[in-house]
Structure 1
Amino acid sequence: MWSMSDPTQQSSVATPSVSPAARAGAAVRRMTARSKDEEHRASTPLEAFFDLCFVVAVAQAGQRLVHEVVEGHAGHGIVGYLMIFFAIWWAWMNFSWFASAYDTDDVPYRVTTLVQIVGVLVLAAGVPRAAADGDFRLVAIGYAVMRLALVTQWVRAGVAESGAARATAFRYAVGVAVCQVGWMVLLLPLGAPPVWAFAVMAVAEVLVPPLAELATSTSWHPGHIAERYGLFTIIVLGESVSAATVAVQSAADEHRALGLLVPIAAGGLLIVFSAWWIYFATPIEEHLVSSRMAFLWGYGHFAVFTSAAAIGAGLEVAVERAVDTADVSARTAAAAVALPAAVFLFMVWLLHARHHKRGAAEQAVLPIAAVAVAACTFSGTHAVLWAGLVCAATVAAGVWLDTHRRLADAPE
């Protein structure tokens, strides 16, 4: 995925477009690459189901982050959260890119994907133990199920392909398998890996795609990839809404601190609504013009997904602080919301918006907003509301500047 050539020229052999009905009707299909020019390429029901099952793991990671922050172990909690989310994100990302190129939607493919979902659920079950005690063994087992199932998919693709495409598929299979052996050696004996060792293995994982595709790229579909990432962004933002709703409901049921909960709820909704608006303001598939650009864009979404999910965890911390069930300072509670929101705004600008903005004013809106939202950490009791108002003002400014430019460019 790192060739700089036109994506329409990267796949060695691509099958002609096949209707979803025809794909679903075949018990077993030859797993050759799908066409990059396939029209109406959209996420399948199986992909949607796969994403939905990841909600469990994302929710578990967020809940453990909340627990660590309210217990006064924010630094430890953030490190654990990032490590757990790496496993979630990397397994999801690898599945999505493979499916974009090789989704046959036949019986073996479906069964293998369902096995990967089992791995997701096992991983989610291990999140509390990993976050609290640093014991990643159950997480490692769930991760292994997902990754080894993907190895079988790559082997199947390699057997069906020929030439450079076959070599790429087998390099993927070997790379993923070798990394999985490394994880097992690192995690199974003791369960709690040193951070540096985890970082080394994470780097090894992210190097597999550029090494596998050094000569020939897989035939990922720009529109399909953009849609898949957009759907997962909606999922993590939705998880933030869900987490905040449960926290507010629990506090409201006990009739405590309603005057403080309303500003938190309002600010949280403004942040999440604005995050959705900003992310989907411009179509990104037009920017995915080469494999290098597309995959760097995909890697950058680690920060987008982690920050979006962390907003919900931060809102839970803010609610618990408001009702005096968390012994954290007002500044810590504010930072738990404002900082991930600021990271989200900046990363969306870096990955999406800057490619479509014209002029200094349009380019400056999101970076300035990110700084302003981060500064809301110091705005006192109603920091979440202030952060939400800044996010809403950011959307309004972006819409106004875009409309003004379009009117100025319109022929008289």
Structure 2
Amino acid sequence: MSDRSIAVRRMVHRERDEEHRASTPLECFFDLCFVVAVAQAGSQLAHALAEGRLWGALPHYFFVFFGIWWAWVNFTWFASAYDTDDVPYRLATFVQITGALIFAAGVPRMFAGHLAIGVLGYVVMRTAMITQWLRVAAAASGTERTMALRYACGVALCQSLWVAALFLPFHLQQWALPAIVPLELLVPAFAEHHYSTTWHPEHIAERYGLFTLIVLGETVAAATVAVQSGVNGHDELARVLPIAAGGLLVCFSAWWIYFARPIHGYLRSNRQGFLWGYGHYLVFLSAAAIGAGLEVAVQYAVGETRLSAVAAARVVTVPAAVFLFTVWAIHARHNKHGAAQAVLPLAAVAVLGATFLGGGAAVLAAGLVCAAAVGVGLLLHLREEAAG
């Protein structure tokens, strides 16, 4: 912690080339509190999948995860440019954490179509961001001040629309609320049209990496609890072991693939940064869904769901394939050359193909494919280094 007074500081931007710009303890605490909502979303998805309500649950899962992800994204990029670490900043961050916990409490009801508590938590999170941008506007001038005011007004408008939509008849809410999502996504482009925030590439890459770690950790925790609750004897253990082994291989491989090479050198402009950052919606969403799928696969193995073998397998293989392809598309391919470019797309296709093995065999096969992709990628990388 700095020796300077932290009571109140002018909220001026930090420099993009600042050395040793690392995640702060407050940012890490923020992430850990947000993962409560991620866990709730994954748990509700697992329940719905086990009951065979795939197509009914997916829209709710996508919508709930948008609320978690977008609030996290906005805080992360703002903090990269304007983290003053003074008392008002810390208090505003605590308000955002409180909103995240309210949102998490409303997740089960959101899956049932009752959105009021979840929207309340989301609005609390975003209202705190409005106060942060107004602080920036008060300390800035010129185009930077205009940018901050555009952010504050854009976020405020979106929150007003969320609240107004709650007063619509239920059948209209289902159409009105998703229509606000594109407006939320357009606010940064509108606000930063003439002035770009001074986000730090290494800091942003670290923040996204840390949240990926936390989501993968939640996936492992969910799978562990599922295995623990599903195993009551040697017969159940024999049926669950392939799922446990395959699930671990998928998670270990996901970590290796994501962190194989640093990405901050690619993040040189708003266009590159925003496309990369927005694409992580699918990275986080699929990583969390893998945990939900593993829970369902365990329930199938011990006879606690009526899903078919293929249906119980695809709830793991599909999100695993989405993770592999999305990480390649927005992240890994920027550091790959030649044959290495094909490894992850082919692995995603092979993981999808494993679905038809059904049940635990499919999960184990998916894990082996992911591990093989890591091995092939490592071999190609070592050959590239030797040739260079």
TM-score where L is the length of structure 1? 0.92
Q: 2:374 aligns to what?
A: 395
Structure 1: give runs of 5+ residues left out of the alignment: 1-19
Moved more, 62-71 or 272-281: 62-71
Residues 220, 193 of structure 1: alpha-carbon distance in 2 compared, 3 angstrom cutoff: farther
Q: 1:94 aligns to what?
A: 74
Alpha-carbon contact 1:172-1:209 (below 8 Å) kept: yes
Identical pairs, percent:
60
1:353-394 superposed Cα distances (whole Å, 9 cap, x missing partner)? 1111111x1110010001101111112331000000000000
Whether 2:2 is the aligned partner of 1:21: answer yes
Alpha-carbon contact 1:315-1:337 (below 8 Å) kept: yes
Q: 2:309 aligns to what?
A: 330
Residues 75, 280 of structure 1: alpha-carbon distance in 2 compared, 3 angstrom cutoff: same
Residues 190, 240 of structure 1: alpha-carbon distance in 2 compared, 3 angstrom cutoff: farther
Q: 1:128 aligns to what?
A: 108
**Which whole-Å CA distance do the structure 1 matches of 2:53 and 2:99 have between them?**
29
Q: 1:367 aligns to what?
A: 345
Matched residue type, 1:369 = A
**Which whole-Å CA distance do the structure 2 matches of 1:275 and 1:304 have between them?**
10
Q: 1:266 aligns to what?
A: 245
Residues 193, 56 of structure 1: alpha-carbon distance in 2 compared, 3 angstrom cutoff: farther
Residues 349, 399 of structure 1: alpha-carbon distance in 2 compared, 3 angstrom cutoff: same
Q: CA deviation at 1:189?
A: 5.0
Residues 49, 191 of structure 1: alpha-carbon distance in 2 compared, 3 angstrom cutoff: farther
**Which whole-Å CA distance do the structure 1 matches of 2:57 and 2:256 have between them?**
29
Alpha-carbon contact 1:187-1:193 (below 8 Å) kept: no
Q: CA deviation at 1:193?
A: 5.8
Residues 294, 109 of structure 1: alpha-carbon distance in 2 compared, 3 angstrom cutoff: same
> RMSD between aligned alpha carbons?
1.2
Q: 1:214 aligns to what?
A: 193
**Which whole-Å CA distance do the structure 2 matches of 1:376 and 1:280 have between them?**
25
**Which whole-Å CA distance do the structure 2 matches of 1:166 and 1:191 have between them?**
39
Residues 339, 193 of structure 1: alpha-carbon distance in 2 compared, 3 angstrom cutoff: farther
1:146-188 superposed Cα distances (whole Å, 9 cap, x missing partner)? 0001100000111011111000001000000000000011125
Report matched runs for 1:68-87 at 5 Å. 68-87=48-67
Structure 2: give runs of 5+ residues left out of the alignment: none
Alpha-carbon contact 1:267-1:384 (below 8 Å) kept: yes
Alpha-carbon contact 1:222-1:288 (below 8 Å) kept: yes
Alpha-carbon contact 1:140-1:188 (below 8 Å) kept: no
Whether 2:120 is the aligned partner of 1:117: answer no
**Which whole-Å CA distance do the structure 1 matches of 2:150 and 2:171 have between them?**
30
Alpha-carbon contact 1:126-1:136 (below 8 Å) kept: yes
Residues 190, 110 of structure 1: alpha-carbon distance in 2 compared, 3 angstrom cutoff: farther
**Which whole-Å CA distance do the structure 2 matches of 1:231 and 1:308 have between them?**
13
Q: 1:9 aligns to what?
A: none
Alpha-carbon contact 2:165-2:173 (below 8 Å) kept: no
Q: 2:354 aligns to what?
A: 376
> Secondary structure of the residue that 2:11 maps to in structure 1?
coil
**Which whole-Å CA distance do the structure 1 matches of 2:93 and 2:171 have between them?**
29
Q: CA deviation at 1:303?
A: 0.4
Matched residue type, 2:275 = L
**Which whole-Å CA distance do the structure 1 matches of 2:145 and 2:259 have between them?**
36
**Which whole-Å CA distance do the structure 1 matches of 2:203 and 2:259 have between them?**
15
Whether 2:168 is the aligned partner of 1:201: answer no
**Which whole-Å CA distance do the structure 2 matches of 1:140 and 1:402 have between them?**
46
> Secondary structure of the residue that 1:390 maps to in structure 2?
helix
Moved more, 373-382 or 139-148: 373-382
Whether 2:102 is the aligned partner of 1:140: answer no
Alpha-carbon contact 1:41-1:223 (below 8 Å) kept: yes
Whether 2:386 is the aligned partner of 1:407: answer yes
Matched residue type, 2:44 = R
Report matched runs for 1:349-364 at 5 Å. 349-359=328-338, 361-364=339-342
**Which whole-Å CA distance do the structure 2 matches of 1:220 and 1:191 have between them?**
40
**Which whole-Å CA distance do the structure 1 matches of 2:217 and 2:174 have between them?**
30
Whether 2:128 is the aligned partner of 1:149: answer yes
Matched residue type, 1:76 = G
Alpha-carbon contact 2:219-2:288 (below 8 Å) kept: yes
> Secondary structure of the residue that 1:327 maps to in structure 2?
coil
> Secondary structure of the residue that 1:135 maps to in structure 2?
coil
1:332-357 superposed Cα distances (whole Å, 9 cap, x missing partner)? 11100000000000011111111111
Q: CA deviation at 1:199?
A: 2.6
TM-score where L is the length of structure 2? 0.97
Report matched runs for 1:233-248 at 5 Å. 233-248=212-227
